[in-house]
Amino acid sequence: MCEFEISAVYCPCMDVYCKQKITALGETQFTHAGHIGKVVTCFRTGKPLCMGTFRNTDPDRLLVRHGMDPNNANSTQDCKKARFTISEKLPDMHLDVCEPCKERCQWFGNPLPRGSGEESP
């Protein structure tokens, strides 16, 4: 199993229960409020390469699908049993709230009570 550390820019919805969280990249409700909006960097950490390591050139690979530059060579390193951790250092970038979060998340300081039956603003 290979471990990778990614740095990412988060969607500013700031909803810890956001339905857009990407579990394949290690996100849970405890990692960060909001969800990964764009992967900026990915570096293999720790152990030497394992037997499951391969070069992934699929144009729809996980990291590219979530915003990483497809021409970045670090987006092609992959492992059959990859485990991702999210860097605590956040890049100095800004994203707008994505469309699914505008409709589903509780954001901008006016959350509706969960289970209220009302739609988000």
Instruction: Quick: pLDDT tens for 66-87.
Output: 999 999 999 999 998 899 998 8
Can you give the C-alpha Rg of the chain in angstroms?
A: 16
pLDDT at 52 exceeding the cut of 50: yes
Within a domain: 70? yes
Within a domain: 88? yes
Q: Judge whether 91 and 9 are in contact, CB under 8 Å.
A: yes
DSSP 115: T
State the sign of the Cα–Cα–Cα–Cα dihedral 58, 61, 63, 67.
positive
> Taking the CB of residue 29, how many other CB atoms lie within 10 A of it?
11
Within a domain: 62? yes
CA distance 51 to 116: 50
Within a domain: 121? no
The 10s digit of each residue's pLDDT in 99-117 is 888 888 876 544 444 444 4
Domain housing 45: 3-104
Q: Judge whether 32 and 10 are in contact, CB under 8 Å.
A: yes
Within a domain: 112? no
Specify the number of domains making up the chain. Answer: 1
Within a domain: 97? yes
Within a domain: 87? yes
Within a domain: 110? no
